[in-house]
Homo-oligomer: A and B are copies of this chain.
Amino acid sequence: MESARKLVNGTAAALPDLTTERFPHLERGDFAVLADRHLRFFEDLLGTEAVLTDPVKVAAHNIDWDRHARGRGSVVLLPASTQQVADVLAYCNREKLAVTPQGGNTGLVWGSVPVFDEIVLSTQRLNEILHFDEVSGVLTCQAGCVLGDLDAYVRKRGFIVPLDLGAKNKCHIGGNLSTNAGGVRLVRYGSLHGSVLGLEAVRADGTVLRLMNTLRKDNSGFHLKHLFIGSEGTLGVITQVAIQCSVAPASVHVLFLGVPSFPRVVDAFRASRAALAETLSACEMMDAECMSVVVDKLGYRHPLQSDSPFYVLVETNGSDAQHDREKLAKLLQSVRDADIATDGVLASSEAEMHTLWEMRLRIGKGLWADGCLYTFDISVPLKMYYDVVPELARHLRDNGRPVTRVCGFGHMGDSNLHLGVTTPTFDPELLEWMEEFVYDWTSKRCGSVAAEHGVGFKKNRFVHLSKTAPALSVMKGLKDLMDPNGILNPYKVLPLGLTGKSC
C-alpha cells in the first residue's frame, strides 16, 4: 500500500483510518457482497480494462480529498457510455449491490468514496464534449469532463463556464452538478440551478432519464433536473450535462484591500456591489491569520504596505477595460475616504491578479502545512458571518483544547464562510467536538451547516440542524421513489432516525 499513499492528494501522507473503524457502530446496509460472478458480469459488459481490482489502483478511489475518510471498496468500474452506466445500475439494482458514483473525487464531505464495500462507479471515461452552440452559448458534454478543460474549450470561442473553483483542473462537471458546487464567482454567475439547462441521469433501476433541454425557458412539466443537482448521487447518476455559458469578459481586474474590522468588511462588500454592480464577479475575504499562513508557509510577498486585521479581494469581469478601471478607481478612493479600507492595491498586470487570487485560493494548502486541517463550510447572514471564528477559538481555549490556528476566509457575496482549524496531527475526537459546536452555532442563526460542499457522509448527522422534520420526510420519500433498494451512494446525505429542526 506504500505506493497507494502517494496516489492520494499527491502527498506521501499516512493512510487515513478506515471510516468503518472511526464509526464502529455504523451498520452496513442490507446489500449483497461482491462475488466473482459479479466481476465476470462487469468484465463481460465493460471489458476487463474498465474493471479495476488492483488494490493500489483502487486505493485512491477509496480515499477522500481531505484524507479524513477511507472506504473498503474493492472494485472500480469505468463505463464509457450512458448505456453502460444504465446496464451496470440495472444489474446492481437487481443484485442489490451498493454503488458509489464518483467524479474527480475532489469533494470535501466524504461523499464520493465508499464507506463499506460499495462499488465505485467512476465517470472518468465519460469525458466527451458533445456540442457547443456559439450563438446561444450552450455547451453539452458528458459528465466526466474536467471543469477546467470545458472552460478552456469555451474560452477559445468567447465564452466561460459559469462556475469556477479551486479544484477546477480535476473535478468533473457531473460531480459539480451532483454537489451543486458554488465556487468563487457565484455572486456574478449564479447557482447551477440557474445555469444548468438540462442533464441526463440514470435511475437506480437503470432507466435513462433524458432531460437534455438546451433552451433557457422550458416549463413543460415538472423541472426534474433539479432532483439531481445537489443530491450527491443518491437519486441517480448524472451522465450528460447542458450548461448555459456566459460571455467571456473582455476585461478582468482585481482590487485587494486591507480592512480594519469585520463590520468594515461588510461595508467594503456593500460599497463594491453598489459601485461595480453588474461587473462585480467576486468578493472574497480572509483574516490576518490566513494572510500570515500564505506569507509564512507558502512564501508569498505581502501585497500591501501594512498588516490589517482583514483583507478583501474584489474582482470585476467587464466588457470595457477603461470603464472598469474608472469604476474601480472611484471605488478605491471612496473606501479610503470612508475609512473602510486602510490600504489597497489595484493589480496592474495579469501576473499580479493571478498572484492575488492564488493567495486566496491556496489558503487551504498553506494551512495543511501546520500538519492537519479541519474545515467547516457554513452559510450565515453577513452581519454575523465572522463571529464564529473568535467564538470557536475562545471555546477551544476555555475547554483546554490546544490547536495551532483558527482562521476564517470565504465568499462575502454568498455569505459563505470557510472556517479553518489546524493541529499537528489528525484528532477525530477533536473534530467531532468542534462539529457539535460549529453546527449548533450555525443552526441557531438559521444558517446552513452545508453551504457549498454538501452533506456527503461527513455531515449527515447534522442535516437535521438545517432541515425540518417534514423536509426530511420528503427527502426520504424522494429517495424511496427514485431508488427503492437504496443502492445509490448509501450512508450519504440522508440522516437516519433524526427529527429535524423546528425554526
Contacts and interface: CB of A to CB of B under 8 A. Distances in A.
A195 B136 CA distance: 21
A217 B471 contact: no
Interface stretch (A44-52, A391-399, A461-469): A461-469
Contacts of A194: 190-191, 193-195
B319 A226 contact: no
A13 interface: no
Identify which of A227, A413, A482 gathers the most chain B CB atoms within 10 Å of its CB.
A227
Report copies per complex: 2
Given A222-B478, A275-B319, A136 B415 contact: yes
A170 B380 CA distance: 34
Interface stretch (A1-9, A144-152, A276-284, A421-429): A276-284
A381 interface: yes
Nearest to A319: B277
A236 to B, nearest CB: 10
Interface residues of A, number: 95
Contacts of A452: 217, 219
A247 B413 CA distance: 13
A83 to B, nearest CB: 14
Given A219-B451, A222-B230, A211 B320 contact: no
A388 to B, nearest CB: 14
Contacts of A320: 323, 326-327
A78 B454 CA distance: 39
A493 B454 contact: no
A97 interface: no
B223 A223 contact: no
Interface stretch (A27-35, A254-262, A266-274, A367-375): A266-274
B318 A218 contact: no
A348 to B, nearest CB: 21
A253 to B, nearest CB: 13
Given A210-B470, A319-B278, A448 B219 contact: yes
A475 B381 CA distance: 35
Interface string A164-192: 00000000000000011010001100110
Interface string A433-468: 000000000000011111111110001000101111
Given A193-B193, A319-B277, A450-B218, A211 B471 contact: yes
A216 B277 CA distance: 17
Contacts of A231: 222-223
Interface in A201-243: 203, 207-211, 213-224, 226-227, 229-231, 235
A470 B320 CA distance: 47
A217 B277 contact: no
A414 interface: yes
B215 A448 contact: yes
A450 B379 contact: no
Given A221-B493, A493-B222, A215 B470 contact: no
A447 B278 contact: no
Interface in A360-412: 379-383, 411
Given A193-B194, A470-B207, A481-B477, A218 B379 contact: yes
Contacts of A208: 470
Nearest to A267: B135
Nearest to A182: B217
Given A135-B383, A193-B226, 4 more contacts: A221-B475, A223-B229, A323-B326, A481-B481
Q: Which 6 A-B pairs have the closest CB atoms?
A: A194-B194, A226-B226, A277-B319, A220-B466, A215-B379, A218-B448
